[in-house]
Chains A and B, each alone.
Chain A
Amino acid sequence: MATTNMTSAAFTLNPSQLHYLSTARPFYYSPRSELISWAPDHYVALAAPVVTYWVASLFFHFLDISEWRWLDRYRIHESAEVKSRNLVTRWQVVRAVLLQQVVQSILGYFWMEEAVAGAGVDHLGNMLRLGPALTRVMTLTLGSKTGGRLLDKDGALLLYTLYWWGIPAGRFMFGTCVFSRSNCLYKL
């Protein structure tokens, strides 16, 4: 492998590539500083699990009481005899869950920090800062000739994909991993 000093080489992009990176955004992106105009993002993050929980639960509860016949083959439920073996009533469950959600929201209120989002973030700068690392990886895996060629041709697209899809997906999977392991410490 040629020992070209790729690591410190400036990650140069031509104007059209720079323009692309400055303007192209994925479908999920919102430049607004708040996702919902009347609710700051860090409060939305606290409300999201609570709202999701009840909307989803009510959906299934609705299925439970609907008595639609076509659902019967999809129910896993046991007979009424076994259901009566639940040691707590539905209302006890609702109260306990609400308590947990209140405690969770209080913790989250102090834990979550307000952070700039949307157009206030220098996305272009962040992407360009990934340049050297991307270059290093490309040259390591493909060699400096092929790697360099690909970077010249599609560098902007690679950066875009890495920044808006690759890294977030990686973060999500890592976060899910951490959460599921800590969520079942002794249960398994």
Chain B
Amino acid sequence: MNTWLYKQFHSVHHRLYVPYAFGALYNHPLEGFLLDTLSGAIAEAAAGMSTREAVVLFSISTLKTVDDHCGYRLPFDPLQFLTSNNADYHDIHHQVCAYYFARSSGDDRCLAHRHQIKLRTALLRALGRPPRDTHDAQRHGTSQGKTEEGAVTAPSLVHEQIDECELFGYAYLQCL
């Protein structure tokens, strides 16, 4: 992934650490124009679609992106099962990518470090590996205790965790 492009443009979308439905299209204007609008127009033209077919394409792709950022894992939602970049994925993806490029201010990294631990647990759980923390503590986001490997200087430990995520974390791999 191109780091410069991310910092200039896509990081705007990742200002939403926790995505919600109507944040799906929150983008840098240029990114929104080029990657959403223009690519929609090109897709419709390249496939030789009629206007009515274009209505279907635009509606379904919009619906999907809103659904991917909705923050719900609804069992009766077919779009959640259609592709792998569903709401679960985006929830983790937004945190991983946003963290990695967070500004390196002291407070920011400290908070992010604590959060990174929870994130790693969530990633492992999502991949079917039982986390060392209890499930409930993770789910309810309690931040007291349960810091693994001791709390050390944020940069090095965080990198170690990121490396581990890289081994297992598909979301993180997608990010980089």
Chain A residues in contact with chain B, CB under 8 A?
A: 35, 41-42, 44-45, 48-49, 52-54, 56-61, 63-64, 71, 74-83, 85-88, 90, 93-94, 96-97, 99-101, 103-104, 107-108, 111-112, 114-115, 117, 168, 171-172, 174-176, 178-179, 182-188
Min CB distance A86 to B, Å, is: 5
A54 to B111, CA, bound (A): 33
Contacts A49-B59, A96-B29 known; list 14 others, CB within 8 Å. A41-B51, A41-B55, A48-B55, A59-B21, A64-B20, A86-B18, A93-B26, A94-B22, A100-B32, A101-B25, A112-B51, A171-B49, A172-B53, A172-B56
Name the A residues within 8 Å of B33 (CB-CB).
100, 103-104, 107
User: Cβ of A97 and Cβ of B26 under 8 Å apart?
Assistant: yes
Contact A48 B58 (CB under 8 A): yes
> Bound state CA distance, A74 and B72, in angstroms?
5
Tell me, in angstroms, the Cα distance from A174 to B2 when the chains sit together: 27
- Choose, from B38-46, B128-136, B152-160, the stretch at the interface: B38-46
Residues of B within 8 A of A64 (CB): 20, 71
A105 nearest CB neighbor, chain B only: B37
**Contact of A57 with B21 in the complex, beta carbons under 8 Å:** yes
Interface residues of B (CB under 8 A from A): 1-2, 5-6, 10, 15-18, 20-27, 29, 32-33, 35-44, 46-63, 66-67, 70-75, 87-88, 91, 95, 111, 115, 118, 140-143, 174
Is A41's CB under 8 angstroms from B26's CB? no
